[in-house]
């Protein structure tokens, strides 16, 4: 979109309206749910710098595989719902019964099934 003749990323514009001031060059607007098309202010978070922003995308979280129910690790921005491609394929062939998992939900830290050292 264009504001005052300059090209503007919508999420940056939404954040500027929210803050009531223009963003600086260093500031980055991050999407909390990693959906770049979701520009609601609730989904946006202001990061002070690119390096601070990158950290949000580099941490890995534990997820429950939608197919087999096992725990796997990935970055939220990858949006993975299955532990492996094979598991994805198997589920789409109907091999796994539905386990009623709420998928896309990160597992809270500490509830991992792996033994603690």
Binding site for Zn ion (CB under 5 A): 30, 65, 67-68, 83, 87
The nearest distance, CB 61 to Zn ion, in angstroms, is 14
Structure tokens at 19: 């803050």
The nearest distance, CB 31 to Zn ion, in angstroms, is 5
- Helix, strand or coil for residue 15? helix
Please identify, using beta-carbon distances, which residue of 8 and 47 lies nearer to Zn ion: 47
- Helix, strand or coil for residue 62? strand
The nearest distance, CB 79 to Zn ion, in angstroms, is 13
Structure tokens at 74: 């990935």
- Helix, strand or coil for residue 106? strand
CA 35 to chain centre: 7
Please identify, using beta-carbon distances, which residue of 3 and 89 lies nearer to Zn ion: 89
Please identify, using beta-carbon distances, which residue of 12 and 30 lies nearer to Zn ion: 30
């Amino acid at each position: 979109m264009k504001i005052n003749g300059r090209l503007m990323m919508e999420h940056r514009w939404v954040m500027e309206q929210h803050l009531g001031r223009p963003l600086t060059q260093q500031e980055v607007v991050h999407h909390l749910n990693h959906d770049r098309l979701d520009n609601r202010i609730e989904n946006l978070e202001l990061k002070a710098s690119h390096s601070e922003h990158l950290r949000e995308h580099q941490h890995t979280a534990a997820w429950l595989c939608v197919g087999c129910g096992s725990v796997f690790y990935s970055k939220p921005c990858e949006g993975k719902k299955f532990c492996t491609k094979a598991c994805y394929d198997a589920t789409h062939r109907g091999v796994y019964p539905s386990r009623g998992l709420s998928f896309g939900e990160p597992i809270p830290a500490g509830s991992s099934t792996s033994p603690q050292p």
